[in-house]
Amino acid sequence: MSFQTGLSGLNASSQSLDVIGNNIANANTIGMKSSRAEFADLVASTIGAGGANVSPGIGTAVGAISQQFTQGNVSITGNSLDIAINGSGFFQLTKPDGTTAYSRNGQFKLDKDGNIVTNTGANLMGYPTDTTGAATSTTPQKLALPTGASIPAKVTGTITAEMNLDARAPIASATTAPGQYGTSVVAYDTQGNQVPLSLYFVKSANNTWSGYTDLTAAQTAITSADYSTANATLVFSTTGTLISPTAATSITLNSPYNGIGNFNVQLDLTKATQYGTDFAVSNLTQDGYTAGNFTGLSIDSKGVITTTYSNGQTMKNGGMVALANFRNTQGLTPTGGGEYTETFKSGQAQLGKPTIGNYGELRSGALEESNVDLTAELVNMMTAQRAYQANAQTIKTQDQIMSTLVNLR
């Protein structure tokens, strides 16, 4: 029996060395979780016997090889498609064969169709989002980006101008230059063509200014003192705040490109002021843009994917990365490549959104390193080696005893 006891110790120590060797080999594997061999003793007893009559142990066996799902260090890579999970959760993946897997390895790529995939070709799953980044469904789907298509142009709908008109300016006369108080902005027509727009402001009376989009019309109004053709009339109080208009004014722009014609734009001047300082424009924006091609992406801590385009626009409708969690992570079955599959012991996956509840936050441009502690593994390897040698010594000692018995005369 002593031979078998020593042999069981050799087998268990050998498996332990295999586990330690695997940990050391994967010390640089992204998302790798270290394992440990857990031993269990073997006991034989006579049927019906108990208490002091129980026979001594007959060896050991590896009861389980469990993984340690502790947090690994997060290292910065600068690659926008590298994602690290800081906290609990797994990425949900759909493998090429249609099965579902889970992983902590955040090394993702874009394939030729714009799908976000792993090195093994599995698709990253997430929730669809609207332009504000809010999830529009609770059913995860494959995350894909419009890398091969451009976003359409958007016609300018609103132009907002915030400015201060100089209260010290005299009422306009025939010698007043109509472009003295003016600015310009580029609007976009229905096909995304640029339509330059100039704004001219002429002081037509005390605390009253007339706004024009045409230089000739502004000059004509000055010389004739007839400001009825103004596109907008701004009236200020004695304290310099705007009295009217209180809402945006509709103006008509004409596209210089054939077949497009006129289009209406809302000109918002409600934040204009009149103080005794120089004319200055503090903000001038419009909401139109030309067509643009996909140029890049970013992922925030909540997993929302923001896409950027060559026209300077950003969109948050690229989707939201989904995370999965389990009641018993030790019940997951590793399948290689840093992937796991759920089992009866792990329980079903519980899907959620990053930073919500017990789900961790995401870090784009970073990866979670292996949680293997090389120093501890090297010490464990020496301990396992000594245990292997000690078990071999028990077999050698038993052999010597058997030889002594055989050689008795």
Peptide bond into 128 cis (omega under 30): no
**Of the residues 286, 306, 338, which one is the last residue of a structural domain?**
286
Judge whether 203 and 170 are in contact, CB under 8 Å.
yes
Q: How far apart are CA 101 and CA 78, in angstroms?
A: 26
pLDDT surpasses 80 at 162: yes
CATH of the domain at 252: 2.60.98.20
Same domain for 302 and 386, yes or no, is no
Question: Residue written as tokens 């050391």?
Answer: 24
- Report residue 342 as tokens: 């759920």
Same domain for 51 and 168, yes or no, is no
Count Cβ neighbours within 10 Å for each residue of 198-217 and write b for 16 or more, e otherwise. ebbbbbbeeebbbbbbeeeb
Judge whether 324 and 90 are in contact, CB under 8 Å.
yes
Q: For 52-113, list the strands marked E by DSSP.
A: 57-67, 74-76, 83-86, 90-94, 100-103, 109-110
The pLDDT score that the predictor gives to residue 399 is 75
Compute the mean pLDDT over every residue in the chain, rounded to the nearest whole number.
90
Same domain for 207 and 298, yes or no, is no
- As for how many domains the chain has, the answer is 3
Q: How far apart are CA 136 and CA 117, in angstroms?
A: 22
Task: Point out which residues pair with 43 in neighbouring strands.
Answer: 57
Same domain for 162 and 274, yes or no, is yes
Same domain for 245 and 129, yes or no, is no
- The model's pTM: 0.77
Same domain for 22 and 112, yes or no, is no
Same domain for 56 and 85, yes or no, is no
Same domain for 194 and 247, yes or no, is yes
The pLDDT score that the predictor gives to residue 4 is 79
Span 254-306, pLDDT tens digits: 998 888 999 999 999 999 999 999 999 999 999 999 999 888 899 999 999 99
Q: How many CA within 13 A on the CB side of residue 319?
A: 20
Secondary structure (DSSP) of 5-61: HHHHHHHHHHHHHHHHHHHHHTTTSTT---EEEEEEEEE---TT--GGGSPPEEEEE
Q: What is the mean pLDDT of residues 108-132?
A: 93
Q: Which domain range does residue 382 map to?
A: 2-70+372-406
Count Cβ neighbours within 10 Å for each residue of 328-346 and write b for 16 or more, e otherwise. ebeebeeeebbbbebeeeb
Judge whether 266 and 197 are in contact, CB under 8 Å.
no
Q: For 248-312, list the strands marked E by DSSP.
A: 249-254, 262-268, 273-275, 280-286, 294-299, 305-309
**Of the residues 286, 318, 339, which one is the last residue of a structural domain?**
286
Same domain for 163 and 215, yes or no, is yes
Question: Residue written as tokens 């948050």?
Answer: 316
**Of the residues 237, 260, 286, which one is the last residue of a structural domain?**
286
Same domain for 173 and 235, yes or no, is yes
Same domain for 183 and 263, yes or no, is yes
CB atoms within 10 A of CB 287: 15
Same domain for 196 and 217, yes or no, is yes
Q: What is the mean pLDDT of residues 319-343?
A: 93
CB atoms within 10 A of CB 152: 11
Span 206-238, pLDDT tens digits: 999 999 999 999 999 999 999 999 999 999 999
Band (150; pLDDT cuts 50, 70, 90) = confident
